[in-house]
Structures are given as structure tokens and as C-alpha cells.
Chains A and B, each alone.
Chain A
Amino acid sequence: MAAVAQLQRQFIEYTTSLHNEGYLDDQFTQLQKLQDESNPDFVVEVVSLYFEDSEKLLNNLATALQQKIVDYKQVDSHVHQFKGSSSSIGAQRVATVCVHFRNFCEEKNLEGCVRCLQQLKQEYILVRSKLEALFRLEQQIVQAGGQIPMME
């Protein structure tokens, strides 16, 4: 039982730090609240979709910015999608980079766009690894017979 309590404490601390550091915002908590017995893997499912979608978008963005003549409308459209899904799952830092990215698109600033894409990749990789760590912690708690604490 001590093992479970320790894991639960770790989970709470980790989740709290992710919020404090701005990786996740309240929208992620909303997702967690939607998870229940009828849909016990809801958060993992949605986040997995987000990972798949994000990777496609990052590839599309790289391709779009490599064109001889860059179609900024197309680039902006991809970033808009990315911003939308990031906001919907609570990936706050990713969404923030998207906002800057869209400004550069409007200005047709290629250098700015390329820089933002790099930042976007970094922030995405960061949030992905943190979410994966969080899910691993959850699995450990469940395997040890405990319940995942509800974050407020």
C-alpha cells in the first residue's frame, strides 16, 4: 500500500509541476474529468490521436515551408489546426507557439516561420514526453492496485 501512496504522491507532484510550468492547462484537467468507467482510456485515446495528428501536421509544415514559392495560406491553415487541437487537449505551450507562428504567416515572414516550426517541434516533443511519463505513472498506480488521484 505504501508503494501505491508513493506513486500517487508522485503523480500529483508531477501533474502539478506540468501545470505550473505551463505545459498543460485547465483543459487537460477537463479531459481527465471526462474519463470514467464507461470510457476508462479516454484521455490516452484523445492524446494518442493528438500525437498522430501533430506529427502529420509537423511534416506538412516542413514540406510547405520548403516549397520554392511558399503558400502562406496553406501554412497558416496547418498551424490553425495545430493550435486548435493543442488547445483542446490543454497543450498550452504548443498552442502559444502556434499564435506567434500565425503572425509570421500573416507577415509572410519565412525566417520567422522556419524558426517557429523549430520551436513548435521542440515544444511538441517536450509535451509528448511529459504526457507519456504521466501515462506511465498512471499505469504503475493501476498495476499496483491503486486509483489515479483526481486533480482539481
Chain B
Amino acid sequence: MSIEYQEEDVPHVLAVDDNLIDRKLVEKLLKTSSCRVTTAENGMRAMEYLGLKENQQQNSINGNGRKVNMIITDYCMPGMTGYELLQKIKESALLKDVPVVIMSSENIPNRINECLEKGAERFILKPVKLADVKTLRRQLTKC
């Protein structure tokens, strides 16, 4: 019981990015901010990890999904963009309340607004810095 409690205490974050260096950096930033981190290299892998399938009705609890407290994803990814991943998450009864943060190297106001309107918690401009992650971390403790 006490082990479970300790695990619950540390937020679990899923970080999605197709760029290896960025993945390693975000992982380190999150770990430095006392988060447990799982990384995925694209949207499909992220969806698999979360237990989401393309056309699944999201009304039942999916026993294959893992609990995450936050998802942080790159916007520009091959196959499925971060925006599309955000959409899928928000459409899922199980995951719609999980905060989703979008990262992008491009400062495009339309893109930012689009993501925020779709329910993204925050939009972070790359390269990601420790200060950005610390802000997110503070928010997570309030959950």
C-alpha cells in the first residue's frame, strides 16, 4: 500500500516527440522536476500506450490503458500531429481530463490558438527550458 502511495505522489508524464534529442531533453527536464516519464516517438505509439484505438468508442474503461497525469507532445510529427493526438485524447471519455501540453519550435499564432481552443493546457515554444517544466510541475501538484 505504501509503495502505491509513493508512486501516486509522483506525477507520471507521457512525453511524445519524434526527435530523439528533444525526447531525451524533455525526459531529463521532467525527471529533474520529479516526474516519472514515459516517452513515445509518435502519436500512434502514444495512443497505443494510452490504450486508445483509432475507432474505439471510449465509453468503457480500457484495462490496457496506463495512468498518466499529463501528456506533453510535439506539434510537428510524421503521421499524426500533436494537434491530432490532442483531439483523440479530448474525444476519449477516459482521458479527456488529462492535461495536454503542446510543444512547437514554430511561433504560429493560428496554431497556438487552434491547440488552446481544442483544450490544450498550454503551448510551449521550443527549445523547452527548465523554467517551462517547473511551471507545469507546479500545476500538476494542484491536480
Q: Which A residues contact B (CB, under 8 angstroms)?
A: 27, 30-31, 33-34, 36, 39, 42, 45-46, 49-50, 53, 77, 80-81, 83-85, 87-90
Find chain B residues with CB under 8 A from A34 CB. 28-29, 32, 130
For B130, list chain A residues within 8 Å (CB). Answer: 30, 33-34
Contacts of B118 in A (CB 8 A): none
Known: A36-B32, A85-B21, A87-B126. 20 other contacts (CB 8 A): A27-B127, A27-B129, A33-B130, A34-B28, A34-B32, A45-B24, A46-B25, A46-B28, A49-B20, A49-B24, A50-B21, A53-B20, A77-B78, A80-B76, A83-B105, A84-B19, A84-B21, A85-B20, A88-B25, A88-B128
Residue of A nearest to B24 (CB): A46
Residue from the list B32, B76, B127 in contact with A88, Cβ < 8 A = B127
| Residues on the B chain within 8 Å of A42, using CB | 28
Question: With A30-B130, A34-B130, A83-B105 as given contacts, are A89 and B21 in contact (CB-CB < 8 Å)?
Answer: yes
**Is B22 in the interface zone, CB < 8 Å from A?**
yes
Which chain B residues (87-143) contact chain A, with CB distance < 8 Å? Answer: 105, 126-130
If A30-B130, A87-B127, A88-B127 touch, does A49 touch B105 (CB 8 Å cutoff)? no
Cβ contacts A to B, 27 pairs, < 8 Å: A27-B129, A33-B130, A34-B29, A34-B32, A34-B130, A36-B32, A42-B28, A46-B21, A46-B28, A49-B20, A49-B21, A49-B24, A50-B21, A53-B21, A81-B19, A84-B19, A84-B21, A85-B19, A87-B105, A87-B127, A88-B19, A88-B21, A88-B22, A88-B25, A88-B126, A88-B127, A90-B127
Residue of A nearest to B129 (CB): A30
Question: Considering only CB atoms and an 8 Å cut-off, how many residues of chain B contact the other chain?
Answer: 17
If over half of A's interface residues share one DSSP class (helix, strand or loop), that class is named, otherwise mixed; here it is: helix
Residues of B63-102 whose CB lies within 8 A of A: 76, 78
Interface residues of B in 18-52 (CB under 8 A from A): 19-22, 24-25, 28-29, 32
In the complex, what residues of A have CB within 8 A of residue B22's CB? 84-85, 88
CA distance A85 to B18 in the complex (A): 11
The 9 closest A-B pairs by CB, nearest first: A85-B21, A88-B127, A87-B127, A27-B127, A84-B19, A88-B21, A88-B22, A34-B28, A88-B25
CA distance A53 to B24 in the complex (A): 13
